[in-house]
Chains A and B, each alone.
Chain A
Amino acid sequence: MSHVWKPVWVVLAIVGIILGLRFIIVPPDFGIWDRGYMYGWHRHSAELFWKDQFKVKYKGRDYCNNCHPDKVSSILASSHKNIQCEDCHGPAIDHPDNPPKLAIIKDRGLCLRCHAYLPYPTSLRSKIAGWPNPDEHNPGIACVNCHNPHSPDFSKPDLNKEVLKVKDITERYDGN
């Protein structure tokens, strides 16, 4: 009779080895967690990595206001008021510790992201002042040689108001 039991022992041994390996390889925090069987399988530490360990780099205007209040107040009084400092200067990360200075971009391309006029009738873009061909507006010279990026205005408050209105619905989250 013993030869009949042999394959059974072999199968049991294989199952045992697989279960043992599974016990070693699968981390203890691997499970279905809150979202259930279909979408929830994961290591909980991966969720915590994205939640807590990943670094926040964009700090927001209130942070800049601690040390560059002149820039903040002048931009808030201008039609650039909706543009975040870090859009033009890059993320603060740990500035002024690291990096000690943020980038100053004098490239015309930075301004032309918005001020190259595009004739797109159904887009807000066509309402921003600019040129269809920017090479006709003082080519080869940095825009900021003549315009102050923190206070660019001539006299166009209209679009400005519209821009403010659309921004309203996000005010709730302006904790940064």
Chain B
Amino acid sequence: MEIKRRDFLRVMGAAAAGATVGGLFRTLTPKEARAAVYATNKKRWIFLVDTHKCVGCGMCVRACKLENEVPYNDPVTRTWVERYVILKSGKAIQDTPMGGLNGYTADDPQGQKINSDDIAKAFFVPKLCNQCEKPPCVQVCPVGATFQTADGVVLVDRTWCIGCGYCIMACPYGARFFHPIYHTAEKCTFCYHRISKGLQPACVFACPFGARNIGDKKDPNDPVTKIVLTERVSVLKSEYGTSPQVFYLGLDENVR
């Protein structure tokens, strides 16, 4: 077939006009639209635990359960407080009855009576989801029911979760469990509903001693970020390469 010069010009003209108009009224891809909307959202939530200040009262565990509707007397919890008693002999005793929900009211780790003169050091370590930068729990989810938000919090979609338990297995920190009522994977959200409204997470709010703190890593003036950047902090199980975002002051080698 032969194309006439006139036809060729007509087609090309129409195409050029179409491209110009199309460019003027270009529809954004969903990704571009979201980028435009969320451009102001420049947060990355991090957490700082000062183990020196924790007294093991368990108020944080209590507040977490009540705020987040985790059945109070079931042996599951989103955050917990571990007790470590290290004797002068070098022996380390660790226990976490009910996640520390009712506080530690006697010197009886693992039910053993300890002579206080034998204690070299003893302390409490609050734990929670590390909201890893590279969360293995999210990678293993076969259905996309768990995910990370733009500000770094890993959440679970209760209606989408099929309850396979892969994520519970994949978490090196044991931070996930099955919710006794919904039978779906459950985990700490940094109280996403509170921090998104400018409140502190329930555990931070409930702590009378400032052992727990929340911060925004992208804000250089944030007091927590300042401490993380300028002081000697450690994280749990860095060897797993998950890049955990819960930082600790005063960790001991016995804490795993």
Contacts and interface: CB of A to CB of B under 8 A. Distances in A.
Interface in B36-70: 38, 50, 52-59, 62-63, 66-67
Given A31-B30, A51-B192, A166-B50, A119 B116 contact: yes
A128 B53 CA distance: 12
B119 A119 contact: yes
B147 A173 contact: no
23 contacts: A33-B147, A35-B147, A38-B138, A42-B146, A43-B157, A50-B192, A51-B193, A55-B193, A57-B67, A58-B63, A58-B205, A82-B208, A82-B209, A90-B66, A118-B107, A120-B122, A123-B56, A124-B52, A124-B54, A125-B54, A167-B209, A173-B198, A174-B200
Interface of B: 30, 34, 38, 50, 52-59, 62-63, 66-67, 85, 102-107, 116, 119, 121-124, 134-135, 138-139, 141, 144-150, 155-160, 189, 192-194, 196-200, 202, 204-206, 208-211, 213-214, 222-224, 227
Interface string A2-27: 00000000000000000000000000
Nearest to B38: A34
A36 to B, nearest CB: 9
Interface in A88-147: 90-91, 109, 112-114, 116, 118-125, 128, 132, 134
A154 interface: no
Size class of A's contact patch?
35 or more
Contact of A112 (B103, B119, B189): B103
A163 B199 contact: no
A29 to B, nearest CB: 10
Given A60-B205, A112-B103, A169-B223, A46 B155 contact: yes
B148 A39 contact: yes
Nearest to B152: A35
Query: Which A-B residue pairs are the 7 nearest by beta carbons?
Result: A113-B103, A46-B157, A42-B147, A41-B144, A120-B122, A119-B116, A34-B150
